[in-house]
Structure 1
Amino acid sequence: MTMNQPKNMISNAGHYKALIYLGWPIIIGQVGVIVLSFADTLMIGHHSTPELGAASFVNNMFNLGIIFCTGFSYGLTPVIGEFYGSKKFHEAGAALKSSLLANTLVGLLLTLFFYILYLNVGNLGQPAELIPLIKPYYLTLLASLVFIMLFNGFKQFADGITDTKTAMWILLAGNTMNIIGNYLLIYGKFGFPEMGLLGAGISTLFSRIAMLAAFVWIFFLSKRYTRYKIGFFRSVRLSGTFRRLNALGWPIGLQMGMETASFNLSAVMIGWLGTFPLAAHQIMCTISTVAFLVYYGMGAAVAVRVSHFSGQNDWANVRRVAYSGLRIILVLAVSISSVLFLLRNVMGGWFTESTEVSALVATLMIPMLLFQFGDGLQITFANALRGVADVKPMMFIAFISYFIISLPLGYFFGFVLHWGTVGVWMALPFGLTSAGVMFWLRFRKHAKGKE
């Protein structure tokens, strides 16, 4: 038996079962995020179309920061996965401590960056009537960035030790709180003031604080984490793990941030076309998030399983996990795409009473469906690379796919060929599919080099 030959080759069926077991709580938690996004857009859209346009701009800008935050925190996954796979539980607890410090510092840095952006929000070419709506909503979301980073640190730790259900329940409870808060503050129910879009922002801020508080309470007071808390409290030397988390987190955050930036900068271009196209773009981003977060829930399970086998130097099972995950995600893509295609003519009406916006949503559904395969492919192999800690090439692949291919094509289709909003969206399949192919080729090369 060679060094890299597995002691126990697991069948594809075994990998399917393990991935689904790990992935379904993550997906359910992600569905909670989807429901919240739907509720936000529905409630804001029915309150007023200008507020929906303002929400589109702000949410797309902050999605860039939030996705980067999430990506940076994903650097903890291969570290925790390796410690868990080799039963080094105290080291896993110490890694969480380093992760919380790193996440806090990055959260503060991003808060400063987005505050500088806030000072220049009036210079980004958005409709003048939206600026008074954009600014207060922007500030409430800005205040929540550090809380998101700290929550992500606890979540990635729990996922890495295969406790995916805790985060699921916290996310579901927090999102339920947010929806209730939206109803009370957007429309002014039960004696609360009618605050519109600002009310949605306040509700989001308080729900994010509550979710972090719940995770802190569970980790420090629950017996299930006792063996990890020993390492958390005893560790005093953070430098080694801290440096490794930064070496992993920044490339992952930048890769995911550049992907999100392709959507966010598309929103800026669409804002040049007016309020109705921007509102349609917000609805489409909400709908496409359904597929993305479901795929990414399963992709996170791929990263966890890959990191476990990578820590054991079991490369045959590393490859089997990745390709098993791809098959599951492709089945999910076909199922979700079929439903969205059948509902394409009615979904716009769920979010707004504007017939113009609804008609544009139905048209934009076609390019969205075209990038589902590419999205599933890039999610699978980005997470596989994350699981084996081969993350630096991901930055360059993302830059080529989204900044060299997708965004220039969006401008060309939308404004040179005068296809408008549809043209901007038609560029997205090119970027996502090219990223997926390049991630796959990189994973093949990395795994082959370990044989």
Structure 2
Amino acid sequence: MYQTTTLKEKYALILKIIVPILVTQVAFYLISFFDILMSSRYGTADLAGVSIGSSIWMPVYIGLSGILLAITPIVSQLVGAKKESAAKKAVQQGLYVAIVLVVVIFIVLLVGIDWILGNMNLEASVHNIAKSYIHAMCAGLLPLFLFFVMRCFIDALGQTRVTMIITLLTTPINIVLNYIFIFGKFGAPELGGIGAGVATAITYWLVFFITVWIIAKRVPFERFRIFHDWPKLEWLRWKEILIIGVPIGISLFAETSIFSAVTMMMSSFSTEIIAAHQIALNFTSLLYMVPLSISMGITILVGFEIGAGRMHDAKLYSYLCVGTAILFSFISACILFILREPVANMYTTDGKVLEYAVQFLVFAAIFQLSDAIQAPVQGALRGYKDVTVTFIMAIISYWIIGLPVGYALATYTDFGPFGYWIGLVAGLTTGAITLLIRLLLVQKRFSSTSKAKLAN
């Protein structure tokens, strides 16, 4: 990370930070994608089991790992303020927090998975595959969460290209290991869908060891000596991590779980409608990687500038990133609207599913603008360490506005299943507007505080 003076330099740094994050996010997305795809080649029950296991795993993982995202603004502000010793301690305490979170998730999934799956009326074979898949994934919890903390540290230094290179290794490794353990190649046991969980857990361990080596040996990370002089538990640092991280985690959980909830509520409609909904949701999730990556990048940039006391630069980065996200969303929405039929054709040849998918993709196009505003604005607020309002608005926009409005429209109007998407658009739009207002207020407060300090 370094100081910039012109808009051209700022935008060059934005691209340098965000493009690798985007590649990283897509690479992580592909792990789940290939788990499901390769399991489908083995058998229908394996496909169903892995899909269900993944749908349970992802909201839990994203929500709790989201707590660790607090490391990014904390470290970026400390590095911006040239307090590298304090940054090292923050990362070390973050690793301790990660271990505690792993223990919590492990116990919850180990004890509660039978109850969760038992309430889904699954066939016995699907139930067993989903359960065993999650148990196998749990073997990779520790390296995954420790890697997540180290990734936040690497990203906070602006070295997102390093994270990208590490993560790019995961996809080919995971594909090879899936092939070995799903289909029983090279003397390995033939585990079917369960093998996808085993493969992913092994992949997480390999990526963890690679990351440890890079941080311990490579410039500029080695000077922090992260793995030396381990401190005792420091409750004040834990408190800072949790105060910032818990609202972030709950916000991410509210965001990811709402789509699972809508999918479950869609079960009252026909199989064709459910399939069409999944097509639109899958493609929209891929497009969302761009505003999500911008959100993560803006947290790093704003945090660094705040730590250095450059409030005006922090504000400029916020506007540039939000503007970039809006521009992308406008382009992607136009492309999605114009090419909605070819997009749907990539997924299915079923005439009825195609008909519904094309209609769902219209709402997906509308969805883009709201997503493009709320995601980077959330990222900017995290850079300011302002997360409580974001958490509250996530709950309100998704669960108090989006889901009830969607249910009412789907149940009591002619919109039918499309009502759920209209509800989500309404909730997201409300969240985007209120969060944008909040960002302006926070920027004003920080600018006033900075001016007051200079005056004294």
Change (3 A) 1:185 1:288: farther
1:112 pairs with 107, 110, 130, which one? 107
The answer to whether the aligner puts 1:18 opposite 2:13 as a matched pair is yes
3-state SS of paired residue (1:71): helix
Matches of 2:70 and 2:154 in 1, distance apart?
13
Shift of 1:409: 2.3
Task: Report the residue type matching 2:295 in the other structure.
Answer: G
1:201 pairs with 179, 197, 220, which one? 197
Shift of 1:422: 3.3
2:291 pairs with 270, 292, 295, which one? 295
Shift of 1:361: 3.6
* Residues 61-210 of structure 1 aligned to structure 2 (within 5 Å): 61-128=56-123, 130-188=126-184, 194-210=190-206
User: Which residue of structure 2 lines up, in the alignment, with residue 307 of structure 1?
Assistant: 303
User: Which residue of structure 2 lines up, in the alignment, with residue 259 of structure 1?
Assistant: 255
Deviates more, 1:117-126 or 1:427-436: 117-126
Matches of 1:205 and 1:231 in 2, distance apart?
23
Shift of 1:124: 3.4
1:19-65 deviations in Å (ceiling 9; x for gaps): 11111111111121244444344434455555544444332222211
Task: Report the residue type matching 1:310 in the other structure.
Answer: I
CA contact (8 A) 2:32 2:54 kept: no
1:32 pairs with 23, 27, 34, which one? 27
User: Which residue of structure 2 lines up, in the alignment, with residue 396 of structure 1?
Assistant: 392
1:121-157 deviations in Å (ceiling 9; x for gaps): 2443455474344322232234433332211100000
User: Which residue of structure 2 lines up, in the alignment, with residue 239 of structure 1?
Assistant: 235
Matches of 2:406 and 2:203 in 1, distance apart?
35
Matches of 2:441 and 2:307 in 1, distance apart?
18
Change (3 A) 1:247 1:232: farther
Aligned residues: 444
Change (3 A) 1:357 1:50: farther
Which of the pair has the greater relative contact order for Cα pairs under 8 Å at 6+ separation? 1
The answer to whether the aligner puts 1:425 opposite 2:421 as a matched pair is yes
Root-mean-square deviation (CA, aligned residues, Å) is: 2.8
Matches of 1:382 and 1:90 in 2, distance apart?
28
CA contact (8 A) 1:402 1:431 kept: yes
Matches of 2:226 and 2:132 in 1, distance apart?
43
Deviates more, 1:260-269 or 1:222-231: 222-231
2:378 pairs with 375, 378, 382, which one? 382
CA contact (8 A) 2:305 2:314 kept: yes
Matches of 1:32 and 1:406 in 2, distance apart?
29
User: Which residue of structure 2 lines up, in the alignment, with residue 435 of structure 1?
Assistant: 431
Shift of 1:351: 4.9
Task: Report the residue type matching 1:97 in the other structure.
Answer: Q
The answer to whether the aligner puts 1:213 opposite 2:218 as a matched pair is no
CA contact (8 A) 1:69 1:149 kept: no
CA contact (8 A) 2:262 2:420 kept: yes
CA contact (8 A) 1:405 1:430 kept: yes
Change (3 A) 1:191 1:331: farther
Change (3 A) 1:356 1:110: farther
3-state SS of paired residue (2:10): helix
Task: Report the residue type matching 1:209 in the other structure.
Answer: W
1:355-405 deviations in Å (ceiling 9; x for gaps): 655554433222222211111111111001100001111121111111101
3-state SS of paired residue (2:239): helix
Matches of 1:352 and 1:41 in 2, distance apart?
17
CA contact (8 A) 2:79 2:304 kept: yes
Matches of 2:243 and 2:291 in 1, distance apart?
25
Give the TM-score taking structure 2 as reference length: 0.87
Q: What fraction of aligned residue pairs are identical, expressed as a percent?
A: 25
Deviates more, 1:50-59 or 1:196-205: 50-59
CA contact (8 A) 2:216 2:226 kept: no
3-state SS of paired residue (1:313): coil
Deviates more, 1:417-426 or 1:375-384: 417-426
Deviates more, 1:28-37 or 1:392-401: 28-37
CA contact (8 A) 1:41 1:283 kept: no
